[in-house]
Structures are given as C-alpha cells and as structure tokens.
Amino acid sequence: MSWGKSPGSPDVQEEIDWKRKQTPPGKRLDGQYALVTGASRGFGRTIALALAEEGAHVAVNYNRSKNDAEEVVKEIQSKGVKAIAVQADIRDRKQVIAMADKVWSEWGRLDILINNAGETAASMQSWRDMDDEIIDETLDLDVKGTLYCLHEFGMRMLDKQKEGTIVNVASNVIVTGSPRSPVYAAAKYGIIGLTKSYALAFAPYVRVNAMAPGYMDTPSLRSRKDWTDDRRQFMVSQTPLRSIGKPENIAYTAVFLASQDSFHMTGNTLLCDGGFGMVGA
C-alpha cells in the first residue's frame, strides 16, 4: 500500500480519506501485508485472525510450534487472504534478519508489524522467587526480541517503503507493577521505552505504538497456580467493566493501532484492561 505522499505533506489527510472510500466496508486493512510474532497460538493467533478479518495478508511467526502455525495459516487463508508461516526465534538477531528476508522475498513489502511474542514468567509466584534462568528468558524474549524485530523490520519499512505501522504488545503492569514478577514488569516497561524511541527514530514515515492489556481469559491464565477463583473474583470486582478481557475483543486494539484510524498517533500506549489500571491525564 502506498499513499503516494509523505505524512508531512499538507494534503496527506485528503489522500487517506480517499483511500478509506476505496476500502470495502469492514476491511480497514484491505490488501496490506502484516506479520505477527508468536502467532501460532494464544493472543498472537487471535490478533493474526483479526487482521485477516480486516483484509490483511498475514505472516504467522512461530518458533517451535510449526503444526500450530500451519493451522493458523489455513484459518487465515479461509478468509480469502494470503498467509504464510515464518519460523524464527526472535531472541536471535540473525534469525530475525532471515525472517525479514523471507517476507520481503515473498511479498516485497510489509505494512504492519505486531510484536506480540513475549514471556510472562508465569512460573514465578512471588518476587521472592529469584531465578536467573527465568530472568534471562523474560528479558531475552520481551526486550531483545522486540528490539530486534522493531529494528530490522522498521528499518526496512523506513528505508524501502517510507511507510508502515508497528504495534508492540506490552501489559498494564507498566501502571500497576507486578509484585509477583518484577522482571515481567521491567520487561514490559522496556517495551514502552523501545516504542517511544523508535517512534521518534522512524518519524514521520513509520508509526510505532503499544497496547497494554491486563489479564486475558486464556487457557494459559486459567492453568496458572495463582489464578484461583478468589483471585479471579477479586480482579473482576476491581475492574470497572466487571470482566476479565477476552482475547478476541482486545485484539481489535491492535487492529485500530495498525490501521489509518490511528493516523495521528505515534509513541503512544493504549491501556486495554477494562479500566483496572486507569491513570490520570
């Protein structure tokens, strides 16, 4: 997709408005090419399907879950758009570069990058559980992995296309903190730093924003030892919208940030946690 003018042009908004009129109803991402990291399952899978619903062709990144990734590809293709599975351990910069090479070889461009892959350090039940391996795994995937993808894909969007949008998945722990796992909070706060830094570096051509969900009603959450009925009831009671978020609803925050509906936003972080972590202006 090309707007034909840089975002700094006086009439760029007119061109965006024109493009919207050419887009089929309900297809905000029609014809665009996207990549979602960690998309073979969980929230990444849900985001990938949401992008496809809006007309995007989607590259499904996975590390080890090849069969799951191929199933997601089939689901996406059933919606009438293109999809490919791309393997890479994003903690390894060389693999990230190879993945970018494959995407550009296959499609010749990338319009949307969703940095979803992350480690929640779910095995940590308390800040007292200091574990070097968990610390390294969390920081490597959340911070280094996001950094490598932001840098490599964003640089190509900037240099080759002069356009693109990037959405990083953080967490509402950037507001609430995490006494269970301080390293998880540190990692997600690191993503906010990366979001702001690359938003400035890539401006005005490539927009970079973040979304910050709270607890999501997923199998992984329900399987956690600390997710008891009492804990769930407490979280619901403290959440203004009185529910634990469903991935299929929260995924559309990523769609909004990836689309031209958020045209005048970059370096921003959107909380999407039912109001649990609402902050003052």
DSSP 43-89: HHHHHHHHHHHTT-EEEEEESS-HHHHHHHHHHHHTTTS-EEEEE--
Catalytic-labelled residue, pool 33, 62, 148, 184: 184
Strand order in the sheet with 269-272: 83-87, 57-62, 33-36, 112-115, 164-169, 206-213, 269-272
Instruction: Answer left, alpha or beta for residue 62, where phi above 0 means left and psi between -120 and 50 means alpha.
Output: beta
Strand 57-62 vs strand 206-213: parallel, antiparallel, or unpaired?
Answer: unpaired
Question: What's the rounded Cα separation, in Å, for the pair 180 and 126?
Answer: 4
Helix or strand holding residue 159 (H, E): none
Q: Which residues have CB under 8 Å from 128's CB, separation 6+?
A: none
Beta bridge partners of 33: 57
Residue 205 appears among annotated catalytic residues: no
Q: Which has the closest alpha carbon to 278: 195, 214, 188, 192?
A: 214
Q: How far apart are CA 124 and CA 117, in angstroms?
A: 19
Residues in the chain: 281
User: Distances in Å between the alpha carbon of 224 and those of 110, 180, 199, 227, 245?
Assistant: 36, 12, 35, 5, 16
Q: Would you please indicate which residues are annotated as catalytic (active-site) residues?
A: 184
